[in-house]
Amino acid sequence: MRVKAILRRAKIEESKEIKIGDLVINNEERTAFYKDEEINLTVREFNILFKLLSYPKKTFTRMQLMNEFWDSETSSSSRTVDVYMTKLREKFAHCDEFKIVTVHGLGYKVVLNEKQQSE
Protein backbone atom coordinates (compact mmCIF):
# COMPACT_ATOMS: atom_id res chain seq x y z
CA MET A 1 0.00 0.00 0.00
CA ARG A 2 2.86 2.36 0.83
CA VAL A 3 4.52 1.73 -2.52
CA LYS A 4 1.20 2.31 -4.31
CA ALA A 5 0.76 5.63 -2.49
CA ILE A 6 4.29 6.74 -3.38
CA LEU A 7 3.81 5.81 -7.03
CA ARG A 8 0.44 7.60 -7.11
CA ARG A 9 1.97 10.77 -5.64
CA ALA A 10 4.90 10.61 -8.05
CA LYS A 11 2.49 10.32 -10.98
CA ILE A 12 0.58 13.35 -9.73
CA GLU A 13 3.79 15.36 -9.41
CA GLU A 14 4.74 14.39 -12.99
CA SER A 15 1.24 14.97 -14.28
CA LYS A 16 0.96 17.92 -16.58
CA GLU A 17 -2.79 17.75 -16.99
CA ILE A 18 -5.81 16.92 -14.90
CA LYS A 19 -9.02 15.92 -16.69
CA ILE A 20 -12.22 15.62 -14.73
CA GLY A 21 -15.26 15.38 -16.97
CA ASP A 22 -15.44 18.62 -18.97
CA LEU A 23 -12.73 20.27 -16.87
CA VAL A 24 -9.14 20.27 -18.15
CA ILE A 25 -6.35 21.88 -16.17
CA ASN A 26 -2.92 21.95 -17.79
CA ASN A 27 -0.01 22.56 -15.44
CA GLU A 28 2.54 23.09 -18.18
CA GLU A 29 0.47 25.73 -20.00
CA ARG A 30 -1.04 27.06 -16.74
CA THR A 31 -4.55 26.96 -18.21
CA ALA A 32 -7.96 25.85 -17.03
CA PHE A 33 -10.80 25.06 -19.43
CA TYR A 34 -14.34 24.06 -18.62
CA LYS A 35 -16.46 22.92 -21.59
CA ASP A 36 -13.83 24.43 -23.92
CA GLU A 37 -14.13 27.85 -22.27
CA GLU A 38 -10.98 29.18 -20.62
CA ILE A 39 -11.28 30.25 -17.00
CA ASN A 40 -8.83 33.01 -16.16
CA LEU A 41 -6.88 32.32 -13.00
CA THR A 42 -4.07 34.13 -11.26
CA VAL A 43 -0.87 32.15 -10.74
CA ARG A 44 -1.71 31.55 -7.09
CA GLU A 45 -5.32 30.56 -7.83
CA PHE A 46 -4.07 28.09 -10.44
CA ASN A 47 -1.46 26.61 -8.09
CA ILE A 48 -3.94 26.15 -5.27
CA LEU A 49 -6.57 24.59 -7.53
CA PHE A 50 -4.06 22.24 -9.19
CA LYS A 51 -2.86 21.10 -5.76
CA LEU A 52 -6.39 20.47 -4.47
CA LEU A 53 -7.46 18.63 -7.63
CA SER A 54 -4.30 16.52 -7.56
CA TYR A 55 -5.37 15.11 -4.20
CA PRO A 56 -9.18 14.93 -4.11
CA LYS A 57 -10.64 14.24 -0.67
CA LYS A 58 -7.34 15.18 1.05
CA THR A 59 -7.70 18.06 3.46
CA PHE A 60 -5.08 20.79 3.34
CA THR A 61 -4.76 23.15 6.28
CA ARG A 62 -4.56 26.86 5.70
CA MET A 63 -0.99 26.77 6.97
CA GLN A 64 0.02 24.00 4.55
CA LEU A 65 -1.30 26.07 1.67
CA MET A 66 0.33 29.26 3.01
CA ASN A 67 3.68 27.52 3.40
CA GLU A 68 3.54 26.19 -0.14
CA PHE A 69 2.17 29.18 -2.05
CA TRP A 70 3.25 32.26 -0.08
CA ASP A 71 6.82 33.14 0.81
CA SER A 72 7.89 32.99 4.42
CA GLU A 73 8.15 36.77 4.72
CA THR A 74 4.57 37.47 3.74
CA SER A 75 2.51 39.71 5.98
CA SER A 76 -0.65 37.84 4.96
CA SER A 77 -2.55 35.84 7.54
CA SER A 78 -3.76 32.30 7.00
CA ARG A 79 -7.23 33.77 6.43
CA THR A 80 -5.93 35.02 3.09
CA VAL A 81 -6.42 31.44 1.91
CA ASP A 82 -10.15 31.88 2.60
CA VAL A 83 -10.24 34.79 0.15
CA TYR A 84 -8.63 32.65 -2.55
CA MET A 85 -11.09 29.82 -1.93
CA THR A 86 -13.98 32.24 -2.30
CA LYS A 87 -12.56 33.45 -5.62
CA LEU A 88 -12.06 29.87 -6.86
CA ARG A 89 -15.58 28.90 -5.83
CA GLU A 90 -16.98 31.89 -7.74
CA LYS A 91 -14.96 31.11 -10.87
CA PHE A 92 -15.99 27.44 -10.84
CA ALA A 93 -19.58 27.87 -9.59
CA HIS A 94 -20.92 26.59 -12.93
CA CYS A 95 -18.59 23.56 -12.88
CA ASP A 96 -20.34 20.39 -11.68
CA GLU A 97 -17.23 18.21 -11.73
CA PHE A 98 -16.03 19.16 -8.24
CA LYS A 99 -16.61 21.41 -5.28
CA ILE A 100 -14.25 22.97 -2.78
CA VAL A 101 -15.36 21.99 0.70
CA THR A 102 -14.45 23.76 3.91
CA VAL A 103 -13.32 21.43 6.67
CA HIS A 104 -14.26 23.60 9.62
CA GLY A 105 -11.43 24.49 11.92
CA LEU A 106 -8.89 22.88 9.61
CA GLY A 107 -8.83 23.89 5.96
CA TYR A 108 -10.07 22.82 2.56
CA LYS A 109 -10.44 19.86 0.26
CA VAL A 110 -11.85 19.10 -3.17
CA VAL A 111 -14.65 16.58 -3.51
CA LEU A 112 -15.40 15.19 -6.95
CA ASN A 113 -19.02 14.67 -7.87
CA GLU A 114 -20.21 11.05 -7.70
CA LYS A 115 -20.13 10.57 -11.47
CA GLN A 116 -16.46 11.64 -11.64
CA GLN A 117 -15.47 9.40 -8.73
CA SER A 118 -16.78 6.31 -10.48
CA GLU A 119 -14.86 6.96 -13.72
Assign residue 85 the CATH number of its domain: 1.10.10.10
96 located within any domain? yes
The answer to whether 107 touches 59, Cβ cutoff 8 Å, is: yes
Condensed to tens digits (0 to 9), the pLDDT of residues 39-91 reads 999 999 999 999 999 999 999 999 899 888 887 666 667 678 999 999 999 99
Q: What does the mean pLDDT of the chain come to?
A: 85
Structural domain that includes position 91: 43-118
Domain count, the chain: 1
What is the pLDDT, as a whole number, of residue 95? 94
Q: Which of 91, 94, 23, 84 is nearest to 56 (CA)?
A: 23
Q: Is 76 inside any structural domain? A: yes
Instruction: In whole angstroms, give the CA distance from residue 111 to residue 117.
Output: 9
